[in-house]
């Protein structure tokens, strides 16, 4: 092993807002004290209950991906496991997410965008 993943960093126009959005989906603590990072108006973190950390970095000229447009690809996405897609969808939409692709009921996953336009999937587990 060469390295250990410390966090996943998402560029966005408003780091605190996006950190709060993902907290509403995953739980955890926004801007928890951590010697690895200092938080400010350009950087926010989310320490999730599972121990994973997401970080959000201000990008002034941020252009969100346009899924599934290949001219502005998604670049990366998160798969988030949920027991009930319909209930999870209600909560995602109420938190400020946008449904991009509902798919079919037998597919078992749906595509959303966070408030900064990053695609992510809810996957039934």
Burial class, 124, CB count within 10 angstroms (exposed 0-12 / middle 13-18 / buried 19+): middle
Query: Is residue 31 a part of any domain in this protein?
Result: yes
Query: Is residue 67 a part of any domain in this protein?
Result: no
CATH code assigned at 89: 3.10.180.10
pLDDT per position as a tens digit, 44-65: 999 999 999 999 999 999 999 9
Same domain, 51 and 82: no
CATH code assigned at 27: 3.30.720
Overall pTM > 0.85: no
pLDDT per position as a tens digit, 2-15: 678 889 999 999 99
Give how many domains the chain has, as a whole number: 2
Strands, sheet with 53-58, edge to edge from the N-terminal-most edge strand: 8-12, 53-58, 43-47, 29-30
Parent domain of 107: 78-124
């Amino acid at each position: 092993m060469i390295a250990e993943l410390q966090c996943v960093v998402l560029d966005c126009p408003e780091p605190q807002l996006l950190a709060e959005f993902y907290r509403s989906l995953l739980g955890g603590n926004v801007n928890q004290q951590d010697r690895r990072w200092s938080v400010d108006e350009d950087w926010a973190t989310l320490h999730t209950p599972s121990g994973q950390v997401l970080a959000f970095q201000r990008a002034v000229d941020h252009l969100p991906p346009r899924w599934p447009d290949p001219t502005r690809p998604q670049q990366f996405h998160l798969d988030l496991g949920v027991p009930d897609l319909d209930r999870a969808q209600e909560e995602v939409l109420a938190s400020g997410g946008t449904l991009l692709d509902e798919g079919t009921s037998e597919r078992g996953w749906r595509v959303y965008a966070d408030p900064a336009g990053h695609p992510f999937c809810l996957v039934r587990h």
